[in-house]
């Protein structure tokens, strides 16, 4: 019995409908496989390939004698490569197991695991693993797919806390930073130079990371080796630094009274930095150690402040070098002119004191600078004039960045009549007196003072400080060697240079700088004690040294923050620097017969140190008092009467 025709029509309808449905499937197949093929091929490739990156060893950093101060060494890292099929549920267990082994917080681990899963990229869970942990982790590795141990080159600073402000340190990229750098080959777990040489020469030091392309399955297990690209190590940077001098400087600063300070040591012949110490310093290795708790590691506060370029201080008596240059070169006052120091000096109705309460008696220039007699320089300064001193201040490049190329350099602050005028204010004779002994509003950085003493040592050239000797590139380019660069020139007559150098030698031989007297060496310098309204005085010592008969080979500016008197606080630091530079054994500040008088003198100076600048109320107060007598702008009838003539006696 057969069905009627209507039923066949129904079957026919269904057949046509089915025909259309298969056609639809065919069209969809065409769309996926032919039209969108490229995109799906890419997705499939991304699915199956896992790239294990190999961090290229960062370039080495050498000192000038070839000693390695920063290198790379192999360490074990724990990485995680996410599999496609891994749910977030598995991660919690993994994070828990790892957190007990690594001592890291479970939440932070889980965060990085989730990041890896979202980005579908391998992450470092822990670096620099100790051997013991490594063996334990080897077990976890077999339980959880995707977890693997790899050997990587990691930064290492063999000397630890050494030139840390100059070398800088490495830090991890944050997400924003990574986005900006991802095109230049940085990964989310890359480390990047955060300061100092590591930051400045990041490009040269970095090298190119290698990668191993592996085929992985959905669980993240490695299946097959697909190919590799070897890393290229970073270029080496040779510094001008002398590790011996640097170490001596840091050690000396750390044993100074306040354990805070900076030492800038340059070669006066070309401006190369021989040592660049700032204390307190830090050990850049701490950022690379296996952190027990990353949140704590992130909060580690390091003394990143580089006193050598970012700390600004009044130069104190070291400024008398410039006052002397202004006076001697200006022919206004003869070096033989004698001034009587009674211990005090009056400008108008203001009394300025000498650091030596009982006074120095009659002083010519040579004695004045050797004894750092304030009264002598008050009077000389007034005679030379504020404008002249400011001109030389500028010539010696004070109040101006050296553009050494390190981050955070401060220009300091110039002080003088012109500067005052620029800000629409009046200049007074009291200010000139203050300026003459390096007080007042003048603020300089230790590296600027290194420039001043360098100019005296080499008779007039201020080289721009340089810390790079040579950069060797890893890609076959020739090495780069920067040339010495003149930053400024101080034009003084030759006899003035002779006098200045003689004066500074005298300071060491028979003056306040006895702490650095070293038999067999020519050492010259100047002490300084910068009055500080916020606390104890800052001690300065600027000096240069050389073998007798040779041009000076070293110029150093030492600052000991809140260290008290320059001769006693900063002097020993300078001594250690000079000794180490000339291969001498460290010794007591002054040996033999000379010891006693110098010690006594230092004690005396130290006792009067706070009063040395001669003003009880500090620079601010002094300026306020001195306002009673505007010097340059408004000559008053009373002016002649206020001349400090009575206590000045100038003998020809």
Q: Shortest gap between Cβ of 210 and another protein (angstroms)? A: 24
Of 72, 75, 86, 367, the one binding another protein by CB under 8 A: 86
Size of the site for another protein (CB under 8 A): 46
Of 67, 215, 283, 426, the one binding another protein by CB under 8 A: 215
Of 73, 88, 296, 477, the one binding another protein by CB under 8 A: 88
Please write down the long-range contacts of 531-535, taking CB distance under 8 Å and 24 or more positions apart: 531/314, 531/316, 531/439, 531/610, 531/612, 531/613, 531/615, 531/618, 531/619, 532/313, 532/314, 532/562, 533/618, 533/619, 533/620, 535/562
Output the CA–CA distances (angstroms, integers) from residue 587 to 559, 575, 577, 578, 601, in the order listed: 21, 9, 12, 11, 19
**Number of CB atoms found within 10 A of residue 351's CB:** 13
**Closest CB to another protein among residues 136, 221:** 221
Instruction: Report the distance separating Cα 512 and Cα 525, nearest Å.
Output: 9
Q: Which stretch binds another protein (CB under 8 A): 16-24, 71-79, 293-301, 313-321?
A: 16-24
Work out whether 91 is an interface residue with another protein (CB under 8 A). Answer: no
Which DSSP symbol is given to 83?
A: -
Q: Shortest gap between Cβ of 293 and another protein (angstroms)? A: 30
Phi/psi for 368 (5° steps) reads -60, -45
Of 81, 94, 98, 117, the one binding another protein by CB under 8 A: 117
Q: Is 45 exposed, middle or buried (0-12, 13-18, 19+ CB in 10 A)?
A: exposed
Work out whether 489 is an interface residue with another protein (CB under 8 A). Answer: no
Of 65, 74, 85, 481, the one binding another protein by CB under 8 A: 85
The two structure tokens encoding residue 295: 């949140």
Footprint on residues 41-60 left by another protein (CB under 8 A): 41, 43-45, 47-48
Instruction: Report the distance separating Cα 189 and Cα 173, nearest Å.
Output: 7
Beta bridge partners of 338: 651
The two structure tokens encoding residue 440: 């007042």
Q: Shortest gap between Cβ of 309 and another protein (angstroms)? A: 51
Under 8 Å between Cβ of 206 and 55: no
Gyration radius of the chain over CA positions: 35
Of 19, 225, 305, 362, the one binding another protein by CB under 8 A: 19
**Closest CB to another protein among residues 222, 366:** 222
**Closest CB to another protein among residues 90, 387:** 90
Work out whether 111 is an interface residue with another protein (CB under 8 A). Answer: no
**Closest CB to another protein among residues 222, 594:** 222
Chain centroid, CA 581 distance in Å: 22
DSSP H or E run through 645: none
Q: Shortest gap between Cβ of 40 and another protein (angstroms)? A: 3
DSSP 252-314: HHHTSSSS-EEEEEE-TTT-BEEEEEEES---GGGGTS--S-HHHHHTPPP----HHHH--B-
Work out whether 90 is an interface residue with another protein (CB under 8 A). Answer: no
Q: In the sheet where 273-279 sits, what is the strand order? A: 273-279, 261-266, 554-560, 538-546, 522-530
Q: Which stretch binds another protein (CB under 8 A): 40-48, 192-200, 383-391, 504-512?
A: 40-48
Instruction: Report the distance separating Cα 7 and Cα 136, nearest Å.
Output: 74
Q: Which stretch binds another protein (CB under 8 A): 9-17, 160-168, 312-320, 612-620?
A: 9-17
Work out whether 143 is an interface residue with another protein (CB under 8 A). Answer: no
Work out whether 142 is an interface residue with another protein (CB under 8 A). Answer: no
State whether residue 605 is helix, strand or coil. helix
Footprint on residues 372-411 left by another protein (CB under 8 A): none
Work out whether 595 is an interface residue with another protein (CB under 8 A). Answer: no
Q: Shortest gap between Cβ of 78 and another protein (angstroms)? A: 23
Instruction: Report the distance separating Cα 101 and Cα 9, nearest Å.
Output: 74
Q: Shortest gap between Cβ of 31 and another protein (angstroms)? A: 9
Work out whether 20 is an interface residue with another protein (CB under 8 A). Answer: no
Q: Which stretch binds another protein (CB under 8 A): 81-89, 257-265, 549-557, 619-627?
A: 81-89
Q: Shortest gap between Cβ of 111 and another protein (angstroms)? A: 17
Q: Which residues bind another protein (CB under 8 A)?
A: 1-4, 6-8, 10-11, 14-15, 18-19, 21-22, 24-26, 28-30, 32-34, 36-37, 39-41, 43-45, 47-48, 84-88, 117, 215-219, 223
């Amino acid at each position: 019995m057969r069905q009627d025709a209507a039923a066949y029509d129904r079957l026919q309808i269904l057949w046509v409908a089915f025909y259309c449905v298969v056609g639809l499937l065919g069209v969809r197949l065409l769309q996926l496989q032919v039209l969108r093929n490229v995109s799906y091929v890419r997705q499939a490739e991304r699915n199956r390939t896992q790239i294990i990156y190999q961090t290229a060893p960062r370039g080495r950093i050498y000192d000038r004698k070839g000693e390695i101060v920063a290198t790379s060494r192999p360490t074990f890292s724990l990485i995680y490569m996410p599999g496609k099929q891994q749910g977030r549920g598995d991660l919690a267990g993994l994070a828990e197991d790892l957190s007990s082994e690594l001592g890291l917080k479970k939440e932070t681990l889980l965060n990085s695991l989730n990041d890896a899963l979202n980005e579908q990229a391998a992450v470092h869970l822990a670096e620099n693993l100790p051997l013991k942990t490594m063996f334990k982790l080897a077990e976890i590795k077999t339980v959880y797919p995707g977890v693997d141990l790899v050997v990587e080159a990691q930064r290492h600073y063999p000397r630890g806390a050494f030139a840390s402000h100059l070398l800088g340190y490495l830090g991890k990229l944050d997400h924003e930073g990574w986005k900006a750098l991802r095109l230049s080959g940085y990964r989310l777990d890359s480390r990047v130079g955060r300061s100092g040489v590591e930051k400045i020469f990041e490009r040269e030091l970095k090298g190119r990371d290698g990668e191993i392309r592996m085929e992985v399955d959905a669980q993240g297990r490695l299946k097959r080796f697909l190919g590799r690209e070897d890393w290229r190590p970073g270029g080496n940077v040779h510094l001008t630094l002398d590790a011996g001098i640097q170490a001596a400087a840091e050690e000396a600063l750390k044993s100074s009274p306040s354990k805070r300070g900076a030492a800038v040591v340059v070669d006066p012949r070309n401006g190369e930095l021989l040592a660049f110490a700032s204390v307190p310093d830090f050990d850049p290795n701490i950022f690379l150690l296996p952190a027990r708790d990353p949140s704590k590691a992130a909060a580690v506060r390091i003394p990143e402040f580089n006193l050598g370029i970012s700390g600004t201080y009044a130069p104190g008596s070291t400024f008398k070098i410039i006052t002397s240059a202004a006076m001697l070169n200006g022919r206004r006052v003869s070096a033989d002119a004698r001034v009587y120091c009674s211990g005090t000096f009056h400008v108008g109705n203001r009394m300025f004191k000498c650091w030596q309460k009982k006074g120095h008696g009659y002083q010519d220039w040579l004695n004045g600078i050797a004894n750092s007699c304030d009264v002598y320089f008050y009077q000389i300064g007034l005679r030379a004039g504020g404008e002249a001193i400011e001109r030389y201040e500028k010539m010696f490049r004070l109040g101006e960045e050296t553009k050494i190329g390190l981050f955070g350099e401060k220009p300091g602050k110039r002080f003088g009549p012109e500067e005052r005028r620029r800000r629409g204010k009046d200049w007074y004779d009291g200010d000139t007196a203050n300026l003459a002994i390096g007080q007042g509003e003048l603020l300089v950085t230790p590296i600027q003072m290194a420039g001043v003493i360098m100019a005296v040592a080499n008779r007039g050239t201020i080289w721009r400080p340089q810390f790079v000797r040579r950069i060797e590139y890893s890609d076959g380019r020739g090495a780069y060697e920067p040339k010495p660069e003149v930053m400024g020139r101080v034009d003084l007559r030759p006899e003035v240079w002779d006098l200045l150098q003689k004066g500074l030698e005298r300071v060491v031989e028979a003056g306040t700088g006895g702490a650095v007297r070293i038999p067999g060496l020519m050492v010259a310098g100047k002490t300084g004690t910068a009055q500080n309204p916020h606390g104890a005085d800052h001690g300065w010592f600027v000096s240069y040294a050389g073998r007798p008969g040779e041009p000076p080979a070293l110029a150093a500016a030492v600052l000991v923050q809140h260290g008290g008197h320059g001769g006693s606080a900063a002097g020993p630091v300078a001594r250690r620097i000079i000794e180490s530079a000339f291969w001498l054994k460290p010794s007591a500040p002054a040996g033999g017969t000379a010891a006693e008088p110098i010690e006594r003198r230092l004690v005396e100076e130290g006792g009067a140190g706070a009063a040395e600048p001669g003003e009880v109320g500090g620079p601010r107060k002094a300026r306020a008092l001195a306002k009673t007598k505007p010097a340059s702008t408004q000559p008053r009838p009373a002016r002649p009467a206020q001349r400090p003539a009575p206590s000045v006696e100038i003998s020809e």
